[in-house]
Chains A and B, each alone.
Chain A
Amino acid sequence: MSDWYLPPTAFTPEVLLSPCQRLLSLKGESYPENVLSFYAPLLERLRALLEEGGLPALRVEMHISYYNSASAKALHRFFQLLNRAGERGCAVKLIWCFDEEDDLARDLGNNIREDFPAIEFEDRSLGAA
């Protein structure tokens, strides 16, 4: 499977899914009008890679500086997928980055850590922009 890359827009994050680098990266803002149609193809690709491709390890880097409520729901689906892969033996590491002052993103990170134990979790607080 080749790399999947989407450049950032004002309302969607930069996306890179690279099977050969074993990397998924999401960076930027997330409030597309139709969240499902934006994230569904990426979720499907990731699912195929993890479940059919049998990827042994994946590093996930996320820094979503703003996400609307519908995007939060979509991100949750990523974590479910990643956790399932972790349970099957894939070494999934999530680097959860958030802006220092964004206590809601920090909280969300803590919830991810608790709710998805098969994901190795690391959070990083980034200095104010």
Chain B
Amino acid sequence: MQADQFKKFAASAQDEGVIFFHSGRLDQEEVICIGAVLRRRLQEEGASGVQSRRVFNAFMEMAQNVVHYAAEEPGAGRLGVLSVTRTEPGFTVMCGNYLAWEQVPRVRSRLMAVQALSPENVRLAYRQQLARQDGDPESKGAGLGLLTMATNARAPIEFAFDPEQPMEGGRTFLFLKALI
């Protein structure tokens, strides 16, 4: 990247209110380091204690989703794009990762189900899911991850699959967005 391109990139990030951005390999160790940096950035941004906690909670669930569920890139591990932007009156947490195409129906139906819940019902569903012994066998967090994001967000979680058909290698890109 040339200096002028870098300047444009930095200016665009500033315009969008980006306070944190990561693109690339993600594993548990990186999640821990990133989490520590994010907490510091939120403090510097003057986020309230409640806001900071909610941003962190949603962010960590998204990051851990990548670590556990993203389709693996041969030789590169699991890749994820994560950002936190300042969007008055709060923050926006976004995440993107490759997902195996055969997972799309399952993930979509779960996202739609959670999207349809009122805030009270999100909390109720969280409580019920916590008490359930079984849960989705493919889900390491028993479906709680998504409900945790929803509990921390001030609006329903937005999502998109792009493209809406399998790319080469039988996968697509999943975006998640939480307004805090």
Chain A interface residues toward B at CB < 8 A: 10-11, 31, 33, 66, 68-70, 72-73, 76, 99-104, 107, 111, 115, 128
Contact = CB atoms under 8 A, between A and B. Distances in A.
A70 B141 contact: yes
Q: How large is the interface on B (under 10, 10 to 19, 20 to 34, 35 or more residues)?
A: 20 to 34
Contacts, number: 58
A102 B101 CA distance: 37
B41 interface: no
Given A11-B32, A33-B28, A101-B49, A68 B61 contact: yes
A63 B151 CA distance: 20
A33 to B, nearest CB: 4
Contacts of A99: 49, 53
B147 A107 contact: no
B178 interface: no
Interface of B is mostly: helix
B130 interface: yes
B25 interface: no
Contact of B145 (A69, A103, A111): A69
Given A31-B60, A70-B141, A128 B49 contact: yes
A115 B60 CA distance: 27
A3 to B, nearest CB: 27
B67 interface: yes
B50 A101 contact: yes
Contacts of B131: 76, 115
24 contacts: A10-B32, A11-B28, A66-B53, A66-B56, A68-B141, A69-B61, A69-B141, A69-B142, A69-B145, A69-B147, A70-B64, A70-B140, A70-B142, A72-B144, A73-B142, A73-B144, A99-B53, A100-B49, A101-B50, A101-B53, A107-B123, A111-B127, A111-B130, A115-B131
B50 A68 contact: no
Nearest to B28: A33
Given A11-B32, A33-B28, A107-B123, A68 B64 contact: yes
B36 interface: yes
B83 interface: no
B82 to A, nearest CB: 15
B40 to A, nearest CB: 14
Nearest to B61: A69
A129 to B, nearest CB: 8
Given A31-B64, A70-B145, A115-B131, 8 more contacts: A10-B36, A66-B60, A68-B60, A72-B148, A76-B130, A102-B53, A111-B130, A128-B49
